Each structure stands twice: as structure tokens, then as C-alpha cells.
Structure 1
Amino acid sequence: MAKIQFITIACNDAERLAEFWAAALDGERQDLPASLDPELVERPSGSPDLLFKEQPKGTERDLPIHLDLATENREETVEQLRQLGGTVRETKTEAYETHTST
């Protein structure tokens, strides 16, 4: 079954929100490759990480907060979620390699 890898939050100032939530949740900001826009806050105790993405609001694709799932078998997991009553709003695959900030 899938596990929550990220809780993704669309916002206007990803860096500012990442700083706030890292401090508020005793998290740790992570460095991502410069080619990626998101800001990542790693949370302690195996909790899902917070991913902040700068995205315009009020669009047809507007997903202000959503869960990013990680799974070994994507097709099987999507089918299981559909059988539970879920619908596919968007599907894509992204990989992030994180490095601890110093």
C-alpha cells in the first residue's frame, strides 16, 4: 500500500512558509537541486515531509494542499484507491533527492 511521502502546499512564497513551518514543527529545511522550485521541510519521527511549491492560485489545476504518495507499484495503488472511491485528478511521477542543510 502507499505511504504519504509529502504534504504539498501551493503558495506565493515557498521559502518564507518553509522557514515558518520548519521552526513551528521542529523540522529541518532540506536543500533541493537549484533546478527545482519547491522548498522542503523534513519532519522528525518519520512524519510526512512538507513540500512548498510556488503556484498561481485560482486556476483549474489549483490544488492548494494535497498528499504526494510513494508506492512500489503505482498502477496497483491507483486502482486500489479508485476501488475505495477515489478519483484521479492529476497523475505524474517526480523524484526528489534531498540533502540535509548545514
Structure 2
Amino acid sequence: MTELQFITFACDAPERLATFWEAALDGERRDTEVPETALVDRPGDGPDLLFKRLQAGTKWRMAIHLDLSVEDRAQSVERLRELGATVRETKTEHHDGTTAEWTVLEDPEGNAFCVSEY
């Protein structure tokens, strides 16, 4: 099963942007252990908002994109490729003893999205 986990915003000031969307959506801030990120839980069902510092002009900056969470990333990436997606890259990030790995893809029109395991 594929879940829409986050709507992610690449931005210059994650705290400022998260504060705006928290108030605009009557959301609630959630702690994150990853530096230069902020999370806002939206009320009700649906994906939360993730704000991540990434300067404009950075290669592959995706201003707003979807983060999908799946049980088996490799299998899901292959399924999405068969549906017409293109793989950009797989990234790994280490922080405080934890490792996150995700694959960045493009849909058939070039819109970027990410896939990680839950």
C-alpha cells in the first residue's frame, strides 16, 4: 500500500514558513530531529506538511512535492517506473544514528516526487 506521507516544501526559512502554514491551517507543530526542517500536522486525515531548507538554484530543488511512504521502496519504484515514472536519484541522509533513504522520481510530465519506506 502506498501512503501520501508529506507534502514537502523546499524553502529558505523552514521555521517561518511552517509558522505561517500552522496558523493558516489550524495545524500543530511536531518535533523533528532533522536539522533545518519543520513539521506541521494538519487537522483531520491527510498528509502533514514538511518544510526543508534548500536554497533556490540548488540542483533538483523541488519547490513543492509529494513524499510517498511504502512498505518496499525498491518494488514500488519499479512499479512506478513501469507506469511511466523516471528515476532521478536515490539519496541517503544520516542524522543522530538514524539513516533515511529515499528515491526521487519524476512523473510522466516531469513533476518530482519522493518514495521512502515506512
- 5+ unaligned residues in a row in structure 1: which ranges? 96-102
Q: Provide the aligned C-alpha RMSD in A.
A: 1.7
Residue 115 of structure 2 aligns with which residue?
none
Provide the secondary structure at the position in 1 that maps to 2:90: coil
**Percent same amino acid among aligned pairs?**
56
The TM-score with structure 2 as length reference comes to: 0.72
Alpha-carbon shift at residue 3 of structure 1 (Å)? 1.1
Give the number of the structure whose residues are more often strand, by fraction.
2
The alignment of Structure 1 onto Structure 2 pairs a total of residues equal to: 94
Matches within 5 A, 1:2-81: 2-33=2-33, 35-81=34-80
Q: Alpha-carbon deviations, 1:42-85, whole Å to 9, x = none?
A: 11222101100111111222111111111111111101111111
Q: Which amino acid letter does the alignment assign opposite residue 79 of structure 1? A: E
TM-score (norm 1): 0.82
- Greater relative contact order (CA < 8 Å, ≥ 6 in sequence): 1
- Structure 2 residues without counterparts, runs of 5 or longer: 93-99, 102-118
Q: Distance in 2 between matches of 1:91 and 1:2?
A: 18
